[in-house]
Structure 1
Amino acid sequence: MTSSAKVCVVIAAKNAAGTITRAIRSGLREGCVAEVVVVDDGSTDGTAEAARAADDGSGRLRVLSLGVNKGPAFARNHAIAHSTAPLIAILDADDFFLDGRFDRLLAEDDWDFVADNIVFIDGRGEVIEPDVPDFEAAPRFLDIHGFIEGNISRRGASRGEIGFLKPVMRRSFLDSHGLRYKEELRLGEDYDLYARALVNGARYKIVHGCGYGAVVRQDLLSGRHRTLDLKRLYEADRAILAVPGLPKEIAAALRRHERHVRGRYELRRFLDIKAETGIWRAGLYALANPLAFPAIAGGVAADKFDALKARRAPNRPETAALRYLLPARIVQK
């Protein structure tokens, strides 16, 4: 550990014995990292043991265990409560930091949150740290409108992914505004925290250089969210909308996101009823909820169209090309 170490890496992990070592080591190799706090969130596969075995002997690793699964929001809050470093960096247990991430990311000090680009890596085979291009930093600040619009999916366009960014957060800002993850959320807990921070005036800086490797797997927990999770997420938007004195333009953006998530919830609720009691009961539910009917009808039609398009699409060989969350220009040498 160097005298400049000031980052706490927070890793919430459930049944991540196969990936936790890579995640921890990517944090411990960074000279700016003062602490790596792993919270084993009710695992049944030896995650805690694998985490402890990744210790490098520097005294920076701490592994905490929860007896039952509490969800990523609770686990992250638990780690934050058991750490002291002034900067907090979230790392998913499947993922890893690219070498030298924090040296590049923390070069400037004009932010409360700062995030860099993410490279998505196919997790179906052996995961190797990629050799990413040197992208232009092109720093910019993200406002609440850009953030919320970047979390709304639209047909014919890339899905809203700006909430996937993994910013380094200044602990003093979180503490001064009483901000922590909402523990009832198991979907969109990052979105909700960042939205509340921006409403409170956070300076959210983005640089386009790449420092975070996200491993994409078909069985990721985020892909198996419950219908209830969608309901809690749009209710989180409503909680922000209830803040007194919220500017009209911010409220309008939040309402757009709330309607987007509520539409996804209504479609999932319709499909749940169809699966449990049949199409007629599901149809009665749709007719009894006229405000939800457009989202249900549009969602069903979109699903059928996507399925038809997938059947008609020619088989193409898989490509190993890397994908990045943010568009960026390669530095010309």
Structure 2
Amino acid sequence: MKPNADVCVIIAAKNAAETIGQAIISALREPETAEVIVVDDGSSDGTSEVSQKSDDGSGRLTIARFEVNRGPAAARNHAIAISSAPVLAVLDADDFFFPGRLSNLLSQTDWDFIADNIAFVDAETAGEAHLALTAFPAAPRILTLGEFIAGNISKRGVRRGEIGFLKPLMRRDFLDAHRLRYQESLRLGEDYDLYARALTKDARYKIIHSCGYGAVVRGDSLSSSHRTVDLKKLYEADRAILAQTDLSPQSRALIAQHEHHIRWRYELREFLDIKRQSGAKAALFHALGNPAAIPAIACGIFADKTERFRRQPDTAPVALGGSGGLRYLLQPPSASQ
């Protein structure tokens, strides 16, 4: 991959008028950006108008709009369809690129997907976050399917930090060769599903530890909550991968591990939803009518009741700089190797 490869930055946005300007400006600031495609996914707050005001006049910004919300997967697929650059980059509407991100990633070779570290920043200090950024060495390495799956299974008592949150650059020719696009039925885990399917197709997924992506932490973020049915659709997506006839035994076992994890989360959430809506008796009858779900329900309730006795100190890496600290998704190389 040549360092000067053209990049299309894809921004799916719903009601993001307060934040999308920063996202667009950070993408257009990168010299390697050939296109920025914003897909306004049924917003009601003027997201499209604010996006237009963020244009730098270079002719690289395109704004498309869905009249009815269709979800981030559909929005990203539409952006891929109307774009032409050979490299695709996904940027969330409330996040931003640190300066030099694309150049740093494109300087690496031999990849189909490549991702860098993510810094989690507070909305109030996002504008000064670059001053606190720690200069980790790149330490490039290939991410295996096993590491990817393990990094997407959350553990109680440990700060959330799934590898599925990474925002890799993606080679369009790899996606096209394997007919890979986002699964539009998913409103949760659509990134995980795409990357998992790519890894089962032997995608070269490289990661570097230097940080170029800023994820703004907001309590009202659309990605900070999900519905019970979204968990069901996610484990069904895993089952769709497992139905592939060309899946290796090792890949099958790894995907099955994630399917089991998500399915157990779903069974517990469904039980608790019924209990909250219809009472304990209705929830008990539901469980008795679905005996396969009983282990998930029992283990989940037990874990919830005993969590305070098992809680461990948060060991997520924190890099201090400026007047505050930044938290990173990937641990520094010295701590992760």
TM-score above 0.5, yes or no: yes
1:295 Cα offset (Å): 1.6
CA distance 1:129–1:173, change in 2 (3 Å)? farther
Q: 2:101 aligns to what?
A: 101
| Count of residue correspondences | 319
Q: 2:19 aligns to what?
A: 19
The question of whether the paired residues in 2 share the 8 Å contact of 1:98 and 1:129 is answered with: no
1:160 Cα offset (Å): 5.2
Superposition pairs of residues 168-207 of structure 1, within 5 angstroms: 168-207=169-208
Q: 2:65 aligns to what?
A: 65
Counterparts of 2:274 and 2:288, CA distance in 1 = 13
Q: 2:242 aligns to what?
A: 241
Runs of at least 5 residues in structure 1 that lack an aligned partner in the other structure: 311-318
- Over residues 250-293 of structure 1, what are the superposed CA-to-partner deviations in whole Å (9 max), with x where a residue is unaligned? 11111110000001100110011112110111112122222211
Coordinate RMSD, CA, aligned: 1.8
Q: 1:285 aligns to what?
A: 286
Counterparts of 1:44 and 1:156, CA distance in 2 = 38
The question of whether the paired residues in 2 share the 8 Å contact of 1:119 and 1:213 is answered with: yes
1:19 Cα offset (Å): 0.3
The question of whether the paired residues in 2 share the 8 Å contact of 1:122 and 1:215 is answered with: yes
- Secondary structure of the 1:321 match is strand
Q: 2:329 aligns to what?
A: 325
Q: 1:55 aligns to what?
A: 55
Q: 2:263 aligns to what?
A: 262
User: Aligned letter for 1:324?
Assistant: Y
Counterparts of 1:106 and 1:4, CA distance in 2 = 7
- Secondary structure of the 2:126 match is coil
1:308 Cα offset (Å): 8.4
CA distance 1:195–1:324, change in 2 (3 Å)? same
Runs of 4+ in 1 over 3 A off after TM superposition: 156-160, 304-310
- Over residues 39-96 of structure 1, what are the superposed CA-to-partner deviations in whole Å (9 max), with x where a residue is unaligned? 0000000000000000000000001010000000000001111100000000000000
Counterparts of 1:113 and 1:78, CA distance in 2 = 20
1:108 Cα offset (Å): 2.0
- Over residues 132-152 of structure 1, what are the superposed CA-to-partner deviations in whole Å (9 max), with x where a residue is unaligned? 111111110011111111101
Counterparts of 1:193 and 1:206, CA distance in 2 = 16
1:126 Cα offset (Å): 4.4
Q: 1:79 aligns to what?
A: 79
Q: 1:229 aligns to what?
A: 230
- Over residues 209-261 of structure 1, what are the superposed CA-to-partner deviations in whole Å (9 max), with x where a residue is unaligned? 00000011111112221111100000000000011031111111111100000
- Secondary structure of the 1:322 match is strand
User: Aligned letter for 2:331?
Assistant: P
User: Aligned letter for 2:271?
Assistant: F
More off after superposition, 219-228 vs 39-48: 219-228
Q: 2:118 aligns to what?
A: 118
Counterparts of 1:271 and 1:129, CA distance in 2 = 42
- Secondary structure of the 1:256 match is helix
1:298 Cα offset (Å): 2.2
Identity of aligned residues (%): 61
The question of whether the paired residues in 1 share the 8 Å contact of 2:5 and 2:86 is answered with: no
Counterparts of 1:205 and 1:302, CA distance in 2 = 35
1:128 aligns with 2:127: yes
CA distance 1:106–1:259, change in 2 (3 Å)? same
- Secondary structure of the 1:236 match is helix
CA distance 1:251–1:309, change in 2 (3 Å)? closer
CA distance 1:42–1:83, change in 2 (3 Å)? same
Q: Output the TM-score relative to the length of structure 2.
A: 0.91
1:161 aligns with 2:144: no
Runs of at least 5 residues in structure 2 that lack an aligned partner in the other structure: 312-322
